[in-house]
Structure 1
Amino acid sequence: MSDFTGKTVLVTGSSRGIGLAIAKAFDAAGANLILHARSEIQAETLAEFQHDVQVLQFDIADATATEASLKALYKQENFQGIDILVNNAGITKDQLAMGLTPEDFAQVVNVNLNGTFNVTQPVFKKMIRQKHGVIINLSSVVGLMGNMGQTNYAASKAGIIGLTKSLAKEGARRHIRVNAIAPGMIVSDMTAALPEATQAEILKNIPLARFGQVDEIAQTALFLAENDYITGQTITVDGGLYI
């Protein structure tokens, strides 16, 4: 059983889905949780946590607002710093490349890739000074293998892998580890909305013959947070889709 008692964990995009599952897993392991969302997190969601949580609300694509929110966090009385940062927040705007507008391409990259950097940079600076820290970035199997209709999303998630490797090299001497998780097809509102025929076609390419669960991504995050000899890696959790 993982034990993160006394550790402070910030999870972006933690109002639902994978981000919420990761936050709950760290909460169950005793961590102090800082949740983040672009919009208000519902009271019933907050009530699902075992311990008190703090909530930050800002758009990660807005570098100025992001930095201001994080600066205010660090200025709080008795705040000891962030031990673990999980960059999960992201969006999709799927369209075949020939129909993709420059605006839709830029928006997805700006949120998923630039937004990840906007959150990471100020936290990374503090981790450098405190001489420890863990950063876990949510990429995607699409960032490794590409996917029709997701040129913008694939580019952003591939960029996160490059960001992860570079930060891992920069942070290692200060005992900061940086890794990425690349989920495959995970049960979610998005996958549930797919036609049954589409789901069946996708399942044909997954050796384990099922979609993943959000808790399986959350357990991977816990593993990366506590294993002190893994850095710069991308852990694929996809049922064998990308073999």
Structure 2
Amino acid sequence: MSTDRKVVIISGGSRGLGQALVQDRLDAGDIVATFSRSSNDFIDRLRKADPEGERFHWEPIEGTDLDGVRTFAMNVVRRYKRIDALVNNAGVGVEGLLTMTSERDIHLALALNLESVIVLTRACLKAMIAARHGSILNISSVNALRGHKGLAVYSATKAALLGFTRSLATEVGPQGITVNAIAPGFFESEMVGHLTDAQRARIIRRTPMRAMCTTQDIVDSARFLLSTRAITGQTLAVDGGFTA
């Protein structure tokens, strides 16, 4: 394996933003490891093109399976001998008034959006600290920065990621590891597919750039934060100015 290639773990890489992040890192020449609940055409295509797993590795793991997530990181280290970057992308949206949200959905959001992130990061850090090099990127949300009705649980988990980002950055910075976060606003994806035309128009009207961001906007921002060594402990809002 060429030492010029970075080994990048991206959680939840089978669809949406995760899929775009995986493809971007592969296009850049990196080795990418990802997991998701199940496979799909995208994952199948990548596995077929690289049957030996030289540059792409995937495992079927439910993000709330903390033992599975921990083992996945260990498997990546055994296979590729190191981890250079981690993108904590996997997450679940929980909508609804708090009084109407089931405890099951609350526990799911906490487990997948927060606990799983902490467990996976902890597992990856061991290899990064040994190498005294690494980049960690947490995908949060503008809902961590701005309150919206019906998103209290989701916002709580994404806001917790920002505190996690800042504190961990001070902890592992001396070991050469950066920790940053991206807070995407509403962007063109299946996550906004349920919005009515009126809701979309209202969001765009409240956005200074008068347009929703694209998945590529977020991918470009991720690429920048994963490449810089001078920025750590920061949150970049990619939202067209929605939180300005």
Q: TM-score, normalised by structure 1?
A: 0.92
1:24-173 equivalent positions in 2, closer than 5 A: 24-43=23-42, 46-47=45-46, 52-76=55-79, 79-173=80-174
Q: Could you list the runs of 5+ residues in structure 1 that have no partner in the other structure?
A: none
**Which stretch of structure 1 is more off in the superposition, 216-225 or 38-47?**
38-47
- In structure 2, the partner of 1:15 is 14
Map Cα deviations across residues 199-218 of structure 1 (whole Å, 9 max, x no partner): 11111211111111111101
Shift of 1:44: 6.5
Secondary structure at the aligned position of 2:12 is classed as coil
> Are 1:46 and 1:53, in contact at CA under 8 Å, matched by a contact in 2?
no
* Mapped partners of 1:53, 1:63: distance in 2: 22
Report if the CA contact (8 A) 1:183-1:238 is conserved: yes
Q: Are 1:232 and 2:229 counterparts?
A: no
Whether the 8 Å contact between 2:185 and 2:242 is mirrored in structure 1 is yes
Deviation for aligned residue 1:105: 1.6
What is the distance in 2 between the residues matched to 1:48 and 1:207? 41
The one-letter code of the counterpart of 2:5 is G
Alignment of 1:208-227 (within 5 A): 208-227=209-228
Percent of counterpart pairs with the same letter?
32
| TM-aligned CA distance change 1:82 to 1:43, over 3 Å | same
The farther-off stretch of 152-161 and 99-108 is: 99-108
Contact 1:27 1:50 in 2 (8 A): no
**Distance (whole Å) between structure 2 residues aligned to residue 72 and residue 167 of structure 1:** 24
CA distance in 1, matches of 2:199, 2:44: 31
Partners in 1 of 2:44 and 2:78 — Cα distance? 27
CA gap 1:123/1:229 in 2 versus in 1, 3 angstroms: same
2:83 is aligned with what amino acid? Answer: I
> Matched residues in 2 for 1:21 and 1:186: separation?
13
Q: Aligned partners of 1:62 and 1:117: how far apart in 2? A: 13
Q: d(CA) in 1 for partners of 2:128 and 2:26?
A: 21
Cα RMSD of the aligned pairs, angstroms, is 1.9
CA shift, 1:125, in A, is 1.8
Aligned-residue offset at 1:236: 0.4
